[in-house]
Amino acid sequence: MNKPMKALLCAICTLVLSYSLSGQDMIFEMVTLTPKPGMHKELAKGMKEHNDTFHSDGAHGVRCYSINSGPDAGKIMWVMGPAPWSELDERPGEGAHDDHWDMKVTPYLETGAHVEYYTFSRSLSHFPKDFTLKNLLGRYVDVKPGQMYRYNELIEKAREVYEKEMPNESFGVYHNQLGNSKDGRDVLIVWFFDNMGWMGEDIGFGEKYEKVHGPGSFMHFRNEISDIVEGSDDVLLSYAGDMGGTSAKVVAAQRQPNN
C-alpha cells in the first residue's frame, strides 16, 4: 500500500473514531444571537419568560451571557446543556415552545444566528469548588491540523499547575465538534471570575509552572504552544441573569472527571 493511501486510511479511521466517541460526550449548544438596537429590555423580558418556561433545568437548561468584547460585542450567547447528543432529539420544539419563541423572542432579534456544539472535557477542566456565575474570559484556540493530542497534553500540564498552585481558580475546556479549518475555534477555554480586577492580576504562571514541572519547563511549554497553535482570540462575557433559565450556581461535583 502506498504512503498516500495509508495516510488517507489513517485519517478516515481517526474521523470515524472521533465520531464514535463523541456519542458519549456531554455537549453544550452555543448560539450567538444579535439583539435589535434599543430592544434589550424587551428581549430580556421575552427571553426570561421563554427560558424559565422551557429551559429552566436539566438537559435542556439554558444560561445566557452578554458578549462584552471583540467583533461580537453587544450580542447574546444562549447556551444549552450539557447533555449527550441524544438529548437533542428530545429538546423542546414544535408547538408551544416554537410558538412562544416566535412571538416573544424573535421580534427583538436580528435575522441569523451562529450555532456551535462543544464537548465539555471533564479531565482537562478544573472546577475545585461551587461558585456563582458572574464574569467569564473565553479563549478560542485555533489548533493546527493533527496536533490536538499535543495541545490536550499541554492543557493537562497547565491543569496540574492550577491544581497544585492555584487550587481555587476555576476553568473549563471545551472542544468544537463541528468546527472547520477556517473559523479558528477548535477549542474554547473559559475562566470564571467575580471582579474585573482579576484581569489585571499577575498570577506568575511561568514561575508556578516551573515549580510543578521543573526548571526550564515553561520555555518548553511556550515553544510547544507556538509550534501547534495557529492563534487565539479572547473575549469577555458576563452572565445575563435577567434572561432567566438555569440557576447561576455552578456545582463543582457535577463537573468532576468521575461524574
Domain positions in the chain are: 26-255
158: cell is 497547565
Alpha-helical (H) ranges within the chain are: 3-22, 40-54, 96-104, 148-165, 205-213, 217-228
pLDDT reported for residue 172: 97
pLDDT score of 12 more than 70: no
> Is 231:181 a contact under the CB 8 Å cutoff?
no
3-state secondary structure of 116: strand
Buried b (16+ CB within 10 A) or exposed e, 216-228: ebbeebeebeeeb
Contact 255, 127 (CB under 8 A): yes
Task: Say how far apart CA 138 and CA 156 lie, in whole Å.
Answer: 18
Measure the CA–CA gap between 226 and 219, rounded to whole angstroms. 11
Q: Say if residues 138 and 189 touch (Cβ distance below 8 Å).
A: yes
Give the type of residue at 78.
W
pLDDT of residue 90 exceeding 80, the answer is yes
Where does the pLDDT of residue 197 fall: very low under 50, low under 70, confident under 90, or very high at 90 and above? very high
pLDDT of residue 183: 83
Global pTM value? 0.87
CA–CA gap between residue 101 and residue 122 (Å, rounded): 32
Helix/strand/coil for 68: coil
- DSSP 8-state secondary structure symbol assigned to residue 245: S
d(CA 204, CA 169): 14
Q: What is the mean pLDDT of the chain?
A: 90
Which residue is listed with cell 497544585? 164
* Predicted local confidence at residue 9, as pLDDT: 40
Q: 3-state class of 249 per DSSP?
A: strand
pLDDT of 11 above 90: no
pLDDT (tens digit, 9 = 90+) per residue, 21-69? Answer: 344 579 999 999 999 999 999 999 999 999 999 999 999 999 999 999 9
First to last CA, the chain: 44
**Residue labelled with grid coordinates 472527571:** 257
The x, y and z cell numbers of residue 23, run together, are 456519542
Please calculate the CA angle 87-90-92 and round it to the nearest 5 degrees: 120
Which of 101-105, 184-188, 246-250, 253-257 is predicted least confidently?
253-257
Cβ-based neighbours of 67, under 8 Å, separated by 6 or more:
32, 73, 74, 75, 76, 77, 235, 236, 237
Q: Is domain 26-255 given the CATH code 3.30.70.100 in the classification?
A: yes
Residue 159 to residues 135, 167, 189, 195, 231, Cα–Cα distance (Å): 20, 10, 12, 22, 20
Residue 70 buriedness (CB in 10 A; 0-12 / 13-18 / 19+) = middle
Q: Which of 244, 76, 217, 229 is nearest to 147 (CA)?
A: 229
